[in-house]
Amino acid sequence: MKVKLTLSKPQIAISDNAKICYGTTGDKDITESLVHGHGHLAALRFAYATVSIEGISVACQNQIVRSKHLDYMVQSKRYVNPDKGEFKFIMPDGLTEVHQFKLRENWENSLSLYKSLIKTGMKKEDARSVLPANTSTKMNVTGNLQGWWGFFKLRLNQHAQTEIRNVAEEIYTLLQQEYPLVFTDDVLNKFRGGTQC
């Protein structure tokens, strides 16, 4: 898996836009007191971040797109060539060797059937129905920081599936570097424990 921050609005934009609510002027950054002191998460709508995610499963992608306040550009399987190695199988963590063998066997059979269907004239958009949910994909995700906050609240939780939790951890680390007054270690630990922030 590879996650990269590709676009962001500076952290100061949160403070600059929110000052109108509080009649505050000057250069002082009030982001931390707004978010953590007052719980004014609406101020997070005035900054955004876009990330690129590669090497995740379609199953993981499906969990990401359930975050209703983010927007997505997703790799189309119509334009991916399996003969060039552009399809990979993402193995779930923590499986026994027997389970891994069975999943790999299913993957190879599915990929073989997919290629066979294409060769006999089936359209890629129809043939892809035989591919398993753990077929690799990539996507770009964008949203304001309140949307990302909601994503983290669900996907960093200890009950979330391992793959999506790993993706969320990677994104959180990137956004914590970009927005240190918003995404703190304290907030991360609360999200991980499933407690309200």
Residues catalogued as catalytic: 155
Reference 133, options 94, 98, 105, 107; nearest CA is 107
